[in-house]
Structure 1
Amino acid sequence: MTHYLVTGGSGFIGAALVRRLVRDGHKVRVLDDNSRGHTGRLHDVLEAVEFVQGDIRDADAVSKAVKGVDSVLHLAAVNGTKHFYEKPEVVLDVGVRGMLNVLDACRANGVGNLVVASSSEAYQTPPAIPTPEDVPLVVPDVLNARYSYGGSKLISELLAVNWGRTGFDRVAIFRPHNVYGPDMGWEHVVPEFVRRAVAAVDLAPTGLVPFPIQGDGSQTRAFVHIDDAIDGIVTVVERGEHLGIYHVGNPEEVSIAELARQTVACLGREAEVLAGPPAPGGTDRRCPDISRLTALGFTPRIPLAQGLPGVVDWYAARTRSVAAGPVGQAAE
């Protein structure tokens, strides 16, 4: 049994990781301020974990949370493209100050094992597909607020690696690639597509369902189901090398147009994908090379065609519930 601190442990990925660690018999402490997460994600294990309400930017709170644990899994961050554009200062503050606080707290409390969550956004536009871990990390335009998140992850990797050279037994980094699943929040492409698909289906009861998207739909991503992502992260936690960096994902590349079509198909209809202006700062292709992680024993098990329907059903039910609203009141 290992005593873990999971920062950001009420977030989407963090909560799934906490549940897995508890199920595997470990002792778990969670540090989160619930600004984007919620303890409902931990409802089935909440009595088995020690939950510490605190802000990752509060050095004292972080130090107290780190004290007495064997290992820190640092996932606290402000994710979601909407937030990158609307509050980049907060994204950077949480990302950079949080990373520094975790490193200082580990050193002060003699915790030598640290695993850090980065992101594919750290390298932004990859020079090769599938993309290995040793590509350059890039911020293409410091004036574009979108890169607040990728920049914070780039800085976090630099900090983790260089602080980790001394005073740590092991520092490992993982970069998740487009993790999806139920209750991931609404600021991501899959839940956003479901929300729009439900509305479009309701407006077009017969025939093709018009579905506008950003760009021409040829842009690609590689989506990994949350269950596979947690298997990959646990593989890094258990077997990752000191100063090792690992891509966590499923190298099944799919176009955004195809994702739109599959989303609408999960609702029993056929989409007519309509091209629109591309998002500023978007990336044309992204698909991870996961050979480093597979060498440690990881293999993704859930293809998009198998994982997407349940997630669409989860979000569609909640979209319709919100749209219906309480009796006698306007829908939100």
Structure 2
Amino acid sequence: MKKVVVTGGGGFIGAYLARRLLQDGWSVTVVDNLARGRVARLADVIAEIDWQQIDVRDIDSMVSAAKGAEVIFHLAAVNGTENFYNHPDLVLDVGIRGAITAIEAAARCGVPDVVMASSAEVYQTPPVVPTDEMVPLMLPDSLNPRYSYGGSKIITELVAFNYHREAFRKVQIFRPHNVYGPDMGWKHVLPQFIMRAIDAVRAPTTSDIPFPIQGDGLETRAFCYVDDLVDGLLLMQRQGEHRNIYHIGNPEIVTIAETVRLLGKIFGRDFVIIPSAAAEGGTRVRCPSIDKMAALGYAPKISLLEGLRRTSAWYLANERPALEGSLL
């Protein structure tokens, strides 16, 4: 079996990717220091995985983990909007030093292919929607800690394409757009909405339920179910070009208000949106162009309603852990 390394493999997308690679016959090494990742995400297949509980910023450990690999998928990062505001130093340190260490370890070990995760956050508020891969990247305000994540991903892309330029057979960047699904953590918009809905429907009332949100509800997103993301990522790695960038997402655009309405449909209640001031630095409009991926044969399959049903079912069955201050 060919060996693959997934950094951040205990994280949300990383765990889904690691599981799928196992199913496809790869020998999978997961690198994760468990600051945000959880072994439980892969508990049923952990005996089949080479789990390396190391920090992606540790070059000696990363070199040891990378030896003999055919591909490194570098996904390790500190994600979650709350973390961008509350832990920008850690977001930057893991994002930037982790990317440099991953590419350095790959070069030292002769790993031929490297795939690095970027983010839709590199655009902030894009001037063109749907947004293609050639829209200029943006850092609007270095004083706003929200941009710690987007800034670290811009640097990640520069590192991927400019460190050890001649060392690799294939280097690729993927920019995921608003990926969601079961067990994605607790510091993202959709889990917070789902938990708000769960708390609301458990309350003893039959009247319309107030549903507070940040912003006015007219902000738009294009949410991509995690299984569709993994399908696209593996397709990109197999058939995509060297030194290229690909959007992986779902072009099904929806307002935040419509997302809340769909949750009401799932939970069988009417939620009344209570708007408030938007977070400083938030993006009102986001939707990817996936034309480059479509040319490779990619097409997302899971509708937002179906994806929200699956995700809500998981959060209904799993209570939020009482770990104050932890990076989840």
Which amino acid letter does the alignment assign opposite residue 228 of structure 2? Answer: D
CA–CA separation in structure 2 for the residues paired with 1:165 and 1:100: 13
Counterpart residue number, 1:169:
169
C-alpha deviation, 1:247, in angstroms? 0.5
Matches within 5 A, 1:267-282: 267-282=267-282
Find the residue that maps to 2:218 and give its secondary structure: coil
CA–CA separation in structure 2 for the residues paired with 1:258 and 1:86: 29
C-alpha deviation, 1:201, in angstroms? 2.6
Would the aligned equivalents of 2:107 and 2:164 in 1 still touch at CA under 8 Å?
Answer: no
Which amino acid letter does the alignment assign opposite residue 32 of structure 2? Answer: D
CA–CA separation in structure 2 for the residues paired with 1:63 and 1:322: 34
Would the aligned equivalents of 1:261 and 1:273 in 2 still touch at CA under 8 Å?
Answer: no
CA–CA separation in structure 1 for the residues paired with 2:239 and 2:190: 31
2:48 matched to 1:58? no
- Higher mean C-alpha displacement, 249-258 vs 203-212: 203-212
CA–CA separation in structure 2 for the residues paired with 1:74 and 1:292: 21
Runs of 4+ in 1 over 4 A off after TM superposition: none
In the alignment of these two chains, the number of paired residues is 322
Which amino acid letter does the alignment assign opposite residue 15 of structure 2? Answer: A
**TM-score scaled to structure 2, two decimals?**
0.95
C-alpha deviation, 1:250, in angstroms? 0.5
Would the aligned equivalents of 1:118 and 1:153 in 2 still touch at CA under 8 Å?
Answer: yes
C-alpha deviation, 1:322, in angstroms? 6.8
List gaps (5 residues or longer) in structure 1: 324-332
C-alpha deviation, 1:165, in angstroms? 2.8
Counterpart residue number, 1:196:
196
Counterpart residue number, 2:257:
257
Find the residue that maps to 2:273 and give its secondary structure: strand
CA–CA separation in structure 2 for the residues paired with 1:9 and 1:227: 15
CA–CA separation in structure 2 for the residues paired with 1:29 and 1:162: 25
Counterpart residue number, 1:16:
16
C-alpha deviation, 1:41, in angstroms? 0.9
Pair 87,174 (structure 1): closer, same or farther in 2 beyond 3 Å? same
Counterpart residue number, 1:178:
178
C-alpha deviation, 1:199, in angstroms? 2.1
CA–CA separation in structure 2 for the residues paired with 1:146 and 1:72: 28
**TM-score scaled to structure 1, two decimals?**
0.94
Counterpart residue number, 1:228:
228
Would the aligned equivalents of 1:129 and 1:288 in 2 still touch at CA under 8 Å?
Answer: yes
C-alpha deviation, 1:223, in angstroms? 0.5
Pair 204,140 (structure 1): closer, same or farther in 2 beyond 3 Å? farther
C-alpha deviation, 1:120, in angstroms? 0.4
Counterpart residue number, 2:325:
none
- Higher mean C-alpha displacement, 306-315 vs 136-145: 306-315
Counterpart residue number, 1:295:
295
List gaps (5 residues or longer) in structure 2: 323-328
C-alpha deviation, 1:275, in angstroms? 1.1
For the aligned residues, what is the CA RMSD?
1.4
Counterpart residue number, 1:130:
130
Pair 322,85 (structure 1): closer, same or farther in 2 beyond 3 Å? closer
Find the residue that maps to 1:314 and give its secondary structure: helix
Residues 70-102 of structure 1 show CA distances to partners (whole Å, capped at 9, x for unaligned) of 111100000000100001000000000000001
Find the residue that maps to 2:318 and give its secondary structure: helix
Find the residue that maps to 2:44 and give its secondary structure: coil
Identical residues among aligned pairs (%): 52
Find the residue that maps to 1:70 and give its secondary structure: strand
C-alpha deviation, 1:164, in angstroms? 5.4
Counterpart residue number, 1:72:
72
Counterpart residue number, 1:91:
91
